[in-house]
Amino acid sequence: MRTIRFNDLTFDEDMLSARRTDGTELRLTRQERALLLHFTQQPGKLLTRRRLVELMTRDASDTSERNIDFLVNRLRKVLGDNARKPRFIATQYGEGYVWIARTMEPTCGRRAFLRLGPAYGMRRSTQRTHSTLAQLTQALKNLMGSDRTVDCVPDWQPEKSTDDVTYSLDVSFHAEEETVHAAFVLRHAATRAVLSTFRARFASARCREIEQVARDIQADIWKNLAAPAGPAIAALEKPLEVRLYEAAELLARTPVIWRENEAQLARARTEKPDDPQLAIMWALNLYMRLLSQALEETEMMPADDWAAIEDEIEHLALSSLPKVQDNPLLVLGVAKLLFFIDRGHAELAAQLADEAFAKSTAFAAAFAMQGQIRMARGNIDEAIAYLDEAIEMSEIGSAFHRYLLVLKITALLAEDRRAAMEEVCAALFAVKPQARLELAFLLARADTPRLPDDIEAMFAHLEEDRARKLLAYIYNIFARRFQRRRHRRNVMRGLITHMKRHFGDAIVPDAIAQAVGGA
């Protein structure tokens, strides 16, 4: 695909996304994309606010002169631009704006999530060497999934390349009779930073050894995505549970994400059994397992099993806490876990979140936790303010962005601000349409006798035992941490109303009925 470069940003031709030279990907909203297209199509030309309103309206994007400044500032923030020292958009005070960034040489680079290359030792290679490289490429393609491109470019020259590559694998071969010796260097392609190195020896033409190497490479990529080592982890913007989700989402095609992380984490913990970071991540993966219950095709978890997992989460969080005091993001992970299990640790979780916020540069992750704590305390306006700050810092459409929107939806639902909640739902469903069905039970309206047909069918297909467990699941995930009964009741009211309609009053467990009152 043809790309266009301005300063340190390379854009897709359709302006749907951009990538910095360090590999960071930026996603643009519909309005940001439309505004960017109008600017870049008329470089160096003054576009008045009135003209921009006309252009945006022509694109069926409702706006006004008053909103143009807001949209421009939002686009500047995405681009990393500064109004006082602009590199992209200059302000013509009292009139409008001018696109000042010059187009650099366009590229027609290829994209790859993982590239095998450069490959050394190929000039004196044997047929076995070429076969090994081909088999390894295919094994990695099978592991990464169809939407994550894996290619092999043996003569690739990264320093001269305009290709958009996320990870690269340097390969060195030495053939010795029937044995092929290989050395691998996995790198972050944009920076050429080394992520891991290892050797392998292929003594036969069988694929078993090659497939094991492919799994090792996949595991190292997972580690970089989910659990970067060293001081870098303290500066990450995303909470650890979101990084775990995204790592598994990138390497697997299943909604039951926790399963994809379990094997990788188990292997890492075997190698480093006393690593507190891995212990916290194991606990976060258990948390994700509980969250995934509604997506499981098998029987939902009994209450005793749920409690046992929360026991393990509590033990891992509390035992790891003394070892991670100097790492704000790991402390935030512990705060998240203690907050989730709701076992009398709410004040400790709040204290940990405050301490981590004071020390961390990862504002978005800290704001997400602060928002949840204030939501639970009943300070909904404060919670939404924190969540809005985090949303503004998140990449539109990313797992973190969607996670924040769900938190905001929950806060607005608890306060019964349905109109505002519907606006946030629309934003969520625009980037993830299937979320409408995933949240259907939570968002069911109590004031309507019948829900939309597809959601009504979901209720109709529930068996009574699963329905009762689903009520407990929704309560545990979304409602139980609210300290005010009114908020718990508002979160559960719609679901309870329609569960009673389908199954009768006895469907509601006594503990939930007491916790929410007259829902």
Exposed/middle/buried for residue 141 (C-beta within 10 Å: 0-12, 13-18, 19+):
middle
The mean pLDDT of the chain is: 83
- Summarize pLDDT for 479-498 with one digit per residue, the tens: 999 999 999 999 999 999 99
CATH C-level class of 111-212? alpha beta
DSSP 478: I
Handedness of CA 384, 390, 392, 398 (dihedral sign): negative
Exposed/middle/buried for residue 14 (C-beta within 10 Å: 0-12, 13-18, 19+):
exposed
How much is the pLDDT for 337? 92
Q: Which of 196, 139, 198, 191 is nearest to 165 (CA)?
A: 191
Cα distance between residue 143 and residue 136, in whole Å: 11
Cα distance between residue 116 and residue 165, in whole Å: 10
Cα distance between residue 203 and residue 181, in whole Å: 9
Exposed/middle/buried for residue 409 (C-beta within 10 Å: 0-12, 13-18, 19+):
buried
CB 317 within 8 A of CB 338: yes
Please indicate, yes or no, whether the overall pTM of this predicted structure exceeds 0.85.
Answer: no
Cis peptide before 328, with omega less than 30 degrees from 0? no
CATH of domain 3-107: 1.10.10.10
- Which residues on adjacent β-strands are paired with residue 242? none
Q: What is the DSSP string of 482-505?
A: -SSHHHHHHHHHHHHHHHHHHH-G
Three-state DSSP class for 199?
strand
Residues of the chain below pLDDT 70: 1-3, 13-14, 21-24, 58-64, 66, 104-109, 122-126, 146-147, 204-207, 227-260, 294-298, 360-362, 518-519
How much is the pLDDT for 464? 92
How much is the pLDDT for 363? 72
Domain residue spans in the chain? 3-107, 111-212, 230-361, 443-516
Spell out the residues 6+ positions from residue 4 whose beta carbon is closer than 8 angstroms to its own: 10, 11, 13, 40, 103, 106
Give the phi and the psi of residue 64 in degrees, each rounded to 5. -145, 170
Cα distance between residue 384 and residue 291, in whole Å: 22
Name the amino acid, one letter, at 94.
Answer: G
CB 485 within 8 A of CB 376: no
How much is the pLDDT for 87? 84
Q: Which of 120, 167, 161, 163 is nearest to 143 (CA)?
A: 167
Cα distance between residue 228 and residue 194, in whole Å: 12
Cα distance between residue 499 and residue 502, in whole Å: 5
Look-up of token digits 């043809």? 2
